[in-house]
Amino acid sequence: DLTSDQKQKIADYLEWNALPENQTYRYDYFYNNCATKVRDVFAEVLKGDIQFDGSYVKTDYSIRDLTHSYLTYQPWGELGIEICLGLPMDKKITPYQYMFIPDYIESGFDHALLNGKPIVQEKVITYASIPETPSKNLFHPWNVFGGILVIAIGLTFFDWKRKKLSKWFDVILFAVTGAIGFLLLFLWLFTDHQAAANNFNLLWALPTNLVAAIFLLRKKIPLWLGKYFMGTTIIGNLALLSWLFLPQQLNIFLIPITIAIVVRSIWIYLFTFEAMVTSE
C-alpha cells in the first residue's frame, strides 16, 4: 500500500541498483541473499517509515533449524549443505533474520507496517506449492553410508583372517574424505563465505587423509603411517563420543562413515605395528 511518491522512490532505487557499478554484491547464504535483498530494498528506501513486526514468530530457531525444515525430503541436499557450512549455521537468529527464507519474506511483509498501517493491501497467489511426499528411494544417505560401513567391517574381518590390507578400499575411503577436508579448509580460509568458517566436519574429513591415501599406494607402507592412523582412530573416536555435544550439530548420516574410518584406521595401525615387530 504505497503512495505514488513511495512507488517512484522504489523504482528509482531499482534503476540505480541495476547500473553496472551497482549490480554486484557480496553474497551471504543467510544474511545477504536473493530473499533478504527484497526486504532490504524497502528498508533502505522507506527507512523509518516501515517497521517489520517479528512478534508473530513463536520459535527460537537457529539457521540450521530453519534449513532443516525445508530439506526434510531432500537428504542429499541437506547433507551437502551441512558438510560445507560450519558453526555459523548453529547461531540463533531474530525474526528479522528469518527472512533469508522466502516464506518468511512473505510472512514478514504480512506483518509489516508502513506509517502505522499494514503495508500489504492485497495478496494474489500466482503459484500454490504442492506439499512434498517422501520418495521411496534406496539411494539414501543412511543406505549408502551404512553399506560402506558394512563393507569396511567385512573387509577388516577378512583382512584380519588373511593378515593383509585391502588397500583399494582404504585408498578410496581416505582419499575421498581427505579431498572433502581440503575443500572445507579452502572454503573456510580462502573464500568470503563466512558460513563455511569453523567447520567441525574436519574432525572426520581430515585433509591429511589425502596424503595418507597416497602413501598407502606404496608397496611397502611407511611405519610412520601406522602412527598417523592411530591418530585418526583417536580423533574419530573423540568425534563419535562428542557428536551430540559439539558446538556444531553434525549430520547424523555421517556417523557410519566416521565409524568406517575408525575401523579401517585401527586395522591399518595394527597391521603396520605387526609388520614393524616382525621386521625386528
pLDDT at 6: 95
CB 184 within 8 A of CB 196: yes
pLDDT at 275: 61
Burial of 75 (0-12, 13-18, 19+ CB in 10 A): middle
The kind and range of the H/E element at 166 are none
**C-alpha gyration radius of the chain:** 26
pLDDT at 178: 98
Asked whether residue 38 carries a pLDDT value surpassing 50, the answer given is yes
Q: Of 50-59, 195-204, 215-224, 263-272, give the lowest mean pLDDT range.
A: 215-224
pLDDT at 68: 92
- CB neighbours (10 Å) of residue 64? 20
Q: How confident is the model over 105-124, as a mean pLDDT?
A: 95
pLDDT at 259: 98
Q: How confident is the model over 79-104, as a mean pLDDT?
A: 95
pTM: 0.89
pLDDT at 95: 95
Count Cα atoms within 13 angstroms, Cβ side, for 4.
0
Distances (CA, A) of 274 to 4, 10, 97, 177, 216: 83, 74, 56, 26, 16
pLDDT tens digit string along 115-153?
999 999 999 999 988 887 777 788 999 999 999 999 999
Q: How confident is the model over 57-66, as a mean pLDDT?
A: 94
192 Cβ partners below 8 Å, 6+ apart?
Answer: 26
> pLDDT-based confidence at 273, cuts 50/70/90?
confident
Q: What's at 27, amino acid-wise?
A: Y
CB 105 within 8 A of CB 99: yes
Asked whether residue 33 carries a pLDDT value surpassing 70, the answer given is yes
C-alpha 98/C-alpha 35 separation (Å) is 10
> pLDDT-based confidence at 213, cuts 50/70/90?
very high
Greatest C-alpha distance within the chain: 90
- CB neighbours (10 Å) of residue 114? 19
